[in-house]
Structure 1
Amino acid sequence: MPFQAFFPLLADVVTEGTVEVPGVPAESQINIFQAVILGLVQGLTEFLPISSTAHLKVVPVALGWGDPGVAFTAVIQLGSIAAVLWYFWADLKQVTMGSVRAIAKSDYQSPDFRMALGIALGTLPIVFFGLLIKIFIPDFDNSPLRSTVAIAIASIVMAILLGLAEKIGARKRNFEQLDAKDGVLMGFAQALALIPGVSRSGSTITAGLFMGLQRATAARFSFLLGIPAITLAGLVELKGLIDSGLTNIGPAALVAGLISSAVFSYLAIAWLIRYLQTRSTWIFVWYRLAFGVAILAAVFGGVLQNR
């Protein structure tokens, strides 16, 4: 898209809600209202252990809007990153400055250094496996793993695993007891989220419970661990979306989706941490089971297409 064409295009989006792009059917384009709703769905489901990818796939299809695509989904995740940075800014500042001081003093047993190392090492698995998918499955957007039935099955399987973790997890270890090994183990769990429907927060919180972490600690570390991975994915897809000329979304709709995602992500983070301080994850177990079963029933009943 030529730079000089940006501002007229922006004006068209503000006044009409949808940009008419040559070669792209109008009904497949994302308008401002749809972007706000999708941002709401992204924000409320990114950090709850119920899979934002699954909901961003199923909800718009159920509403007749079609699949918004992996690129748009990844880009509005940047709103979620803004929210988690905002919420955990004090923690991130402490870990960063503490790690710098620890390195200067060669104090590699510092809790802050071990936390930073855990986040860094925990990011490597999802980056590694993500690159493998890009190399060996270049058309992953249209893979059967992104089908509606696959998402439903993943939701049900993860519900069972979360329920099992809730049952047998010791829930004794707090945030101060985390180390690099926890980051690595949770990082491999995070890599499972490359499969749509698994849920990044769901897989990491489940792993945290299996590792004996307290519920709120597992959620808090899950959110911090997700910052590099979600940021990298969002930035890569944002570049791809811009290079493609924003073929199915205008700048104003993109901004609206990002703001909506940021606001609702912040609310979801604050609520979930407070919730898990006193309550279990069973509400999410039952929700994911019901969600998966409902999707399967809709597909086999002909209400939703398996695509």
Structure 2
Amino acid sequence: MDTIQILLLAFVQGITEFLPISSSGHLVLTPLLFGYELQSLAFDVSLHLGTLAAVMLYFRREIARMTLAVLDSLRTRRIANQDARLGWMIIVATLPVLVLGLPLKTVLDALREDGTLLALTIASTSIGFGLLLWWADWRGRRRRDEYSLDWKDALIVGGLQAIAIIPGISRSGVTITAGLLLGLTRRAASRFSFLLAIPTILMAGGLETLDLLQDAAPVDWTALLLGAQFSFLVAYLTIHFFLRFIERISMLPFVLYRFLLGGMILFLVW
């Protein structure tokens, strides 16, 4: 991989992982649009590690408080504060991924074998779930914060997150959509989505690493390190500015982008 390709893919991963526009779809489409070969599994793992490091650094204080609060709740057998409650809701929301992750991964692997079918899937899910995001943003009451979620809410968000393994749906997009439908503010829905990304990316990265260990292909460690560093930087800035401005700009720009992306893919395929 040349440096431009590495930086381009790292930029795409860093900016799309936490925006509601599908990082997996963009990582597949980018090499197709620019005439590159599809990047290696090892490189995808490095990009995900970069974005994981970014979200963990950005929310380091919240993570520390929630971890201590959850451990204390295990010791006392009661949820004493909102940090413990939020920590447990993230755990509950992660459960559907544990159950549905592997079966849905087989669907993803099958899609990747047929370029045309994969492109059509990304186009249809980009448009369809873009409409759902627009409707949720329009109809949502936007009065609750992330600390008000209960276990039923968490399972709904987690269940929708599990299907986001299909390219074009967008993990952040579908979890923010679920949060808005449950009455969360845009900022609260986004914060819960970003915190939920931590165990999800860890599990996805773990599965990809297992696949990587079974792959005998040589690894370009320089490319992996550069990709991880640049995706980390872009992802950190994306989180910061998204949370800062989301209450003012609404979800409409992302919805319109999803429509344009889906339409462009359909035009190119047909």
TM-score normalised over the length of structure 2 = 0.92
Superposed, 1:147-296 pairs within 5 Å as 147-247=118-218, 249-296=219-266
Q: Which residue identity is paired with 1:55? A: H
Instruction: Establish whether residue 100 from structure 1 lines up as the match of residue 65 from structure 2.
Output: no
Report how many residues are paired: 270
Provide runs of 4+ in structure 1 moved above 6 Å: 135-138
- Kindly state the Cα deviation for residue 132 of structure 1 after the two structures are TM-superposed: 1.9
Q: Which residue identity is paired with 1:291? A: L
Partner of 2:16: 45
SS of the residue corresponding to residue 248 of structure 2 reads coil
Q: Matched residues, percent identical?
A: 37
Measured in 2, the distance between the counterparts of 1:64 and 1:183 equals 41
Measured in 2, the distance between the counterparts of 1:103 and 1:181 equals 20
Measured in 2, the distance between the counterparts of 1:32 and 1:243 equals 27
Measured in 1, the distance between the counterparts of 2:117 and 2:45 equals 14
Measured in 1, the distance between the counterparts of 2:240 and 2:224 equals 25
- Kindly state the Cα deviation for residue 271 of structure 1 after the two structures are TM-superposed: 0.9
The RMSD of aligned alpha carbons is 2.1
Q: Is the 8 A contact 1:95 1:116 kept in 2?
A: yes
Q: Is the 8 A contact 1:146 1:196 kept in 2?
A: no
Q: Is the 8 A contact 1:115 1:180 kept in 2?
A: no
SS of the residue corresponding to residue 82 of structure 1 reads helix
Q: Unaligned 5+ residue runs, structure 2?
A: none
Partner of 1:24: none
Q: Unaligned 5+ residue runs, structure 1?
A: 1-29, 301-307
Q: Is the 8 A contact 1:43 1:261 kept in 2?
A: yes
Measured in 1, the distance between the counterparts of 2:80 and 2:235 equals 33
CA offsets, 1:227-264, max 9 Å, x none?
A: 111111113213432442344x5111111111111111
TM-score normalised over the length of structure 1 = 0.82
2:101 to 127, 130, 139: 130
Instruction: Establish whether residue 121 from structure 1 lines up as the match of residue 92 from structure 2.
Output: yes
Partner of 2:113: 142
